[in-house]
Chains A and B, each alone.
Chain A
Amino acid sequence: MAKLTKEDLKKIKDKVLAKSALKEEGPRARVTVHMGTCGIASGAKEVMSALMAEIADAGIRDVAVTTSGCMGMCSREPLVTVECLGREPIKYERMDAAKMKRVFQEHVLKGEIQTPFALARGEESSE
């Protein structure tokens, strides 16, 4: 990235928001694996590997995968957030490779939320 000026910051913001917004032409869904030290210690890397394998197997191109830090609830790690176009984000708790596979197959691909592992829906409030 080239050296930025103050004006560039706003442009980057708009560009990122436009690019990351879910849409019909893709990305249609986004899966975030929370990978702070606490998440990794409880198995987030295995969850991420399982997710990548599922995506490769399914040959899907319109699902974005990203990582993020700790969401605060270290005791429920690994945590995964699934966002699908036009739906509220769902946070899944205490994930492992098998649960990730199921969430991918059922929720990401077919839109069926896996309530047994769901912790919450929506987003945290911040100022």
Chain B
Amino acid sequence: MEEPMIGSIPTMQEIPFFAHQKLRVLRNRGIIDPGKIEEYIARDGYLGLAKALTEMTPAEIIKEVTASGLRGRGGAGFPTGLKWQFCSQSKGDVKYVLCNADEGDPGAFMDRSVLEADPHAVLEGMVIAARAIGAHYGYIYCRAEYPLAIHQLNIAIAQARECGLLGKDILGTGFDFDLEIYQGAGAFVCGEETALMTSIEGKRGMPRPRPPFPAVAGLWGKPSVLNNVETFASVAQIVLKGAAWYASVGTEKSKGTKVFALTGDVNNVGLVEVPMGTTLRTIVYEIGGGIPGGKKFKAAQLGGPSGGCIPAEHLDASVDYEKVAELGAIMGSGGLIVMNEDKCIVDIARFFIDFCQDESCGKCTPCREGTKRMLQILTGITEGKGREGDIELLQEMAVIIKNSSLCGLGQTAPNPILSTIRYFRDEYEAHIREGRCPAGVCTALKRYTVDAEKCTGCGVCAKVCPTKAAKGEKKQPHEIDQATCIKCGVCMEKCKFEAIFVN
């Protein structure tokens, strides 16, 4: 019997948010109870591991992962198979498999969601990696701010051990691998590979120069493979369904799907997984449902503090590693922040460089001092103290900081500034030359003025103004003294005649 009402409810496939997604990493989302290993197994979980352990040699596993074209989802996009191959060739009986679940980018929550909803997918990927490189122990480096993810992981690890899917003699094949969670304190720099390993070693999380690369000398000086949560969560499906299946989706050089945390000025805030090469427009307008309040799209920020902005003119660009880099952003780990026309681009750049100077570990001078200086300059610009030549100075410093910093934090910290100057130079210039913030965000640059035509001289503004900057004779047009105005906006809010405006 069909209910009469059911036809009015759209199917999942009729809702653009779901229709444009392709679920591989998130294939179990909303379906399984992450606390029950048997539900994961019922969705063909651990079959990839069984195949890797019983039907494939380590070299064959690496070959399959390489052929799939899978690239690291933590940011840099390094080919995963190649990384495993380097490590497998390193000599030594003690090697480590490490999972990067630090997820420090502001606005990013892909890895947290994967760990919460499908922790076994990550564990399975790690055991396969261990088999490929010959490791018997591993760590998941997860920030302590993710209590639910850690809770689900702990349950998953205990269940996997009980079932012989972790520990000694996995699936009765004689292969041993076990792992533990290492909780990080949530420092952004600890997501950087060498800092992460230093942190697990019990020392202060600071990066060290490479080479030697972790594949040769990683955790405790032993050959190690570090991959991102999403990277590991992709592996079992590749082994089970084959490289060709995986590579059937995506672009020439970017294969498979990518998970994005879609946030900011967009109707459908959420977690989405799309084929590589999907256009930004599809992600923002179809999946994201567009910008709330009928506002205009200004830019999308990809890659967080290491990334950049993609403006409206490139909405039809394909989102893949190459194209995004060409446009001056990076694919990054999957943070995608949509910004509407009300956002000030200089303020956005300032936010990210503020984050980087805060999170800079201080070990190397270009990053420690450079990000601080850049923040000072940007803050000056947003406060109306910008000077002619500031833009050029920022660009010059950016190159030096990128080239001389010790680790990826400093090497990429100037990116948000460079990309916003590239696309929105006029907005920087308006701040510097005209003392004007086109988006009306920078408080110091706001000017509240009275429209003498509309003002009835009722005196409400003068009454509510906390600094007595708004004044005038009764029944005469009032004025706002710019020197004493603190730009609180109360006068505009209280004016019944819409006679006060801001620019």
For this complex, into which size category does the number of interface residues on chain A fall? 35 or more
Residues of chain A within 8 A of B9, CB atoms compared: 90, 113, 115, 118-121
A12 at the interface (CB under 8 A from B): yes
**CB < 8 Å neighbour of A32 from B24, B30, B272:** B30
List chain A residues, Cβ under 8 A from B26.
Answer: 72
In the bound assembly, the distance between CA atoms of A81 and B12 in angstroms comes to: 12
User: CA separation between A72 and B400, bound complex, in Å?
Assistant: 40
A5 to B27: give the CA distance in the assembly, Å: 24
Q: Once the chains are docked, how many angstroms separate the CA of A38 from the CA of B148?
A: 11
A8 to chain B, nearest CB (A): 8
A127 and B163 within 8 A (CB): no
Closest to A67 in B: B33
**Which residue from chain B places its CB closest to the CB of A3 in the assembled complex?**
B164
> B interface, how many residues as a size bin?
35 or more
The listed residue (A12, A37, A120) touching B116 by CB distance below 8 A is A37
Interface of A is mostly: mixed
In the assembled complex, the CB of A106 is this many whole angstroms from the nearest CB of chain B, namely: 11
Assess whether B341 is interfacial by the CB under 8 Å rule: no
- Give the contacting residue for B29; candidates A20, A67, A72; CB below 8 A: A72
Does B31 reach chain A (CB closer than 8 Å)?
Answer: yes
Chain A residues 1-36 with CB under 8 Å of chain B are 1-6, 9, 12-13, 15-17, 20, 32, 34, 36
- Which residues of the partner chain B approach A5 to less than 8 Å between Cβ atoms? 171-172
CA distance A111 to B4 in the complex (A): 12
Contact A73–B17 (Cβ < 8 Å):
yes
Cα–Cα distance between A3 and B166 once the two chains are bound (Å): 10
Bound Cα distance from A85 to B26, whole angstroms: 26
Give every chain B residue within 8 A of A9 (Cβ-Cβ). 41, 45-47, 50
- Tell me the residues in window 92-127 of chain A with beta carbons closer than 8 Å to chain B beta carbons: 111-113, 115, 118-127
Q: How far is the CA of A4 from the CA of B41 in the complex (A)?
A: 11
A-B contact pairs, 9 of them (CB 8 A): A1-B162, A70-B29, A73-B268, A76-B268, A90-B9, A120-B12, A120-B14, A121-B12, A122-B12
Known contacts A90-B9, A120-B14; 7 further A-B pairs (Cβ under 8 A): A6-B54, A69-B34, A70-B29, A72-B18, A76-B268, A118-B9, A126-B23
